[in-house]
Structure 1
Amino acid sequence: MSAGTRGIDELKAVVVGTGFIGVVHVDALRRLGVEVLGVVGSSPERARAKGIAPVYDSLEAVLADKRVDVVHLTSPNNLHYPQAKQVLAAGKHVVCEKPLAVTAEESADLVGMAERAGLVHCTNFNIRFYPIVQEARERVRAGEVGEIWSVHGGYLQDWLAFPTDWNWRLEPERAGDLRAVGDIGSHWMDLAQFVTGQRIVEVLADLSTVMPVRQRPVGEVETFASAGDAEREDTPMSSEDLGHLLLRFDSGVRGSLVVSQVAMGRKNSLRIEVDGSAGAIAWDSERNEELWLGHRDEPNETLLRNAGLMHPVAAARTHLPVAHAEGFAETFRELYRGVYSDVARGGPADDPDYPTFRDGHVENVLCDAVARSNIERRWVEVPQ
């Protein structure tokens, strides 16, 4: 059977990274029927404890394994570019966590490499694949909110709200110069563009570091985990804890975003609202099964995820009956469904239904513009 006619359950993957998000990748792939041959990571013991085996010694060992079809990169940000280059050079398809790279120059290079090679390439903007997010996009496309006037919202977390909280994302040499904006603000900006179908073309950013010094533990701390009573050392901070952004879209629509990793009580709240001439829609990731529908002259509504009441594109992304919750893990499965369908066919579709390296590059360009705006204290155009 040729590579272009295989079933998804015949494909084989390896995940690079054994932290929180790497385990989510492994679980989603297994639920889709993809065989996970193993992982590569700094903590083989942690991988084995979570039921992930075998563990490859290195990325080079993965690339030498002819059975591997796709490599998932969930390593720290600074490794995405060199690792993705290695994977592409070895002729294997690649899924990369965001950010695709730490600079727009690097991400542009990866786009070119992937497209010249004819390989399937994906940037892991999984939030697009909540069924209710897909429904929001379909309603906007169908003109149900009318002419868009405003797009606004925020992405708020509190997992770095104490000076004793620590993770590699606080280290610019591993995470890049932007933190809150690059880590979670990029998800919001991708979502805003996905739902509205419009590009952000100008930004005005005001970024803040509210904890100039943090107490760094000696040793690694897993994402969203506590360092407990570990020995610590004072460490100066340069990346932002929070940011306030004003946005202009290519149609002239205005937008605003608040992003924070120090918002007490907000565990993982991404909220987006689109206001238009005929109505409004709003979605919050902490109530991900609901879409708020705003009206001027009739009662507002809350639509629960229900395939029978949703647009066909969105209904196709939901697999459980109403009131049987689907959540974060399912977004990865739905994202990879399209990716692995293309891998099974032997290459990327002309118009993939998943975010590619091009989408990852768009976010890198946006983040560069945000950083420049904050430094220069002015509106900055986003190169298109």
Structure 2
Amino acid sequence: MRPHGSGTEVRAAIIGGGMVAAIHRRAIQAAGGVVAGVLGSRPERSTEIAAGWRTTAYPDLDALLAADVDVVHVCTPNSTHSSYGTAALRAGRHLVCEKPIATSVPEAAELVGVASASGLVATVPFVYRYHPIVRELRARRLAGEFGPWHLLHGSYLQDWMLSPDAGNWRVQAEAGGRSRAFADIGSHWCDLVEFVSGERFDVLTALTSIAVPDRPEGSAESFSAAAGATPPVPVVTEDAAFVMLRTATGVPANVIVSQVSAGRRNRLWFELDGAARSVVFDQESPETAWLGSAEGATVIARGTGPLSADQQRLSYLPGGHAQGYQDCFNAFVADTYAAIAGDKPVGLPTLEDGLRSARIVDAVLDSAASGVWTSIEGTPR
């Protein structure tokens, strides 16, 4: 492997070949990196993906780890994240690991320990942090514009599991872990609200529900299965969750998470109500934010008016020329590669954030099972 900082471009290997892997590929290229090769779920799948991407197909993990690569992007079913991540780090490769970084807190903590001991860069794509308007809101909070928080609330709603015929490996606990909706998208809401508000969730109580009790099995390469293609199997992971939380400073919060809300494609929405001002952000309209005060309400737009330094850094198009999700992913990977080169980008989500997320997910499931308020392990008091 070439020494980092040698002036050469970052060479990346991707494990996985589905939708998320394709997003990583575009982000690697946008960051000036090279996709050196790909490892799919089986050799013929690796060959198929590599042909479309015009890169090398690795026959197995050993071949990937023996190749001339600087960083490994893990984009596989959840149950494999910690093992692939551990292997990459122990082979001396930097790591970008999809979340959840593991399907249990002990596995997540072990992976974080390996990363810490290695001294390598290891990040997790909580990419909604990279909307420029999100950075503007965070900067305003740091400047004291909102005052002490009174209430944090919101939702993350999708509809991709609405149909009883929808099947995916995430439904299967052995592949996706014991949480689906909350681990998949509720984790993003919690990370983003903590990042913007500066608060840390401390205790919670939760309800979860399964809207469709039986679904067809889905493959690692698809997000749906044709009706009747496979026999339906019992669903054991949640379609929806309702969670009430309290932060370490006593601020109340709540969030509704759903993958069965018709017409909601990817609506991550939050409102943070402060003593001086309130703020609303909607990920499906990421170029603006709503600000409320006792005098009325205003809407701010990316790239207009005075810009915080962090917004300005991430706003590469003039106002009115929309930036979106892929731009966030591109910026996240660029920051990861900057960290590999020795920089310290502000707000870069690391495996420590992935461990934090695993602890919140565990608390949600434990509370839903017990019906009692549950502490989030590891939350500072």
Q: Does the pair score TM above 0.5?
A: yes
Determine if contact 2:217/2:225 at 8 Å carries over to the other structure: no
- Counterpart code for 1:309: P
Aligned residue in 2 for 1:261: 259
- Counterpart code for 2:334: R
Whether 2:60 is the aligned partner of 1:54: answer no
Aligned mates of 2:48, 2:326 — CA distance in 1:
20
Determine if contact 1:164/1:216 at 8 Å carries over to the other structure: no
Aligned residue in 1 for 2:130: 129
Aligned mates of 1:109, 1:261 — CA distance in 2:
30
Aligned residue in 1 for 2:144: 143
Determine if contact 2:17/2:221 at 8 Å carries over to the other structure: no
SS at 2:196's partner residue? helix
Aligned residue in 2 for 1:324: 321
SS at 1:378's partner residue? coil
Aligned residue in 1 for 2:6: 6
Structure 1: unaligned runs, 5 residues or longer: none
Aligned mates of 1:229, 1:77 — CA distance in 2:
25
What's the Cα RMSD here?
Answer: 1.7
SS at 1:309's partner residue? coil
Whether 2:310 is the aligned partner of 1:302: answer no
Aligned residue in 2 for 1:370: 364
Which string of whole-angstrom CA distances, capped at 9 and with x for unpartnered residues, describes residues 159-207 of structure 1? 0001100111111000000000000000001111111112111010000
- Counterpart code for 1:355: P
Aligned residue in 1 for 2:37: 38
Determine if contact 2:216/2:230 at 8 Å carries over to the other structure: yes
Which string of whole-angstrom CA distances, capped at 9 and with x for unpartnered residues, describes residues 278-308 of structure 1? 111111111011111112223x111111165
Aligned residue in 2 for 1:191: 192
Determine if contact 1:308/1:315 at 8 Å carries over to the other structure: no
Aligned residue in 1 for 2:275: 277
Which string of whole-angstrom CA distances, capped at 9 and with x for unpartnered residues, describes residues 113-164 of structure 1? 1111111110111111111111111111111111111111010000000110
Structure 2: unaligned runs, 5 residues or longer: none
Aligned pairs, number: 374
SS at 1:322's partner residue? coil
SS at 1:248's partner residue? strand
Which string of whole-angstrom CA distances, capped at 9 and with x for unpartnered residues, describes residues 224-269 of structure 1? xx43456231211111000100011111111000000000000010
Aligned mates of 1:376, 1:227 — CA distance in 2:
33
Q: CA deviation at 1:44?
A: 2.9
SS at 2:284's partner residue? helix
- Structure 2 CA distance for partners of 1:32 and 1:307, relative to 1, 3 Å: farther
Which string of whole-angstrom CA distances, capped at 9 and with x for unpartnered residues, describes residues 330-382 of structure 1? 1111112221112123xx84x86311111000000111111110111010011
Q: TM-score, normalised by structure 2?
A: 0.94
Aligned mates of 1:11, 1:221 — CA distance in 2:
27
Whether 2:353 is the aligned partner of 1:379: answer no
Aligned mates of 1:104, 1:329 — CA distance in 2:
29
Aligned mates of 1:220, 1:14 — CA distance in 2:
19
Aligned mates of 1:367, 1:220 — CA distance in 2:
22
Whether 2:336 is the aligned partner of 1:339: answer yes
- Structure 2 CA distance for partners of 1:64 and 1:304, relative to 1, 3 Å: same
- Structure 2 CA distance for partners of 1:90 and 1:109, relative to 1, 3 Å: same
Q: TM-score, normalised by structure 1?
A: 0.93
SS at 2:314's partner residue? coil
SS at 2:273's partner residue? strand
- Counterpart code for 1:6: S
Identity of aligned residues (%): 36
- Counterpart code for 1:110: L
Determine if contact 1:3/1:344 at 8 Å carries over to the other structure: no
SS at 2:231's partner residue? strand
Aligned mates of 2:220, 2:3 — CA distance in 1:
40
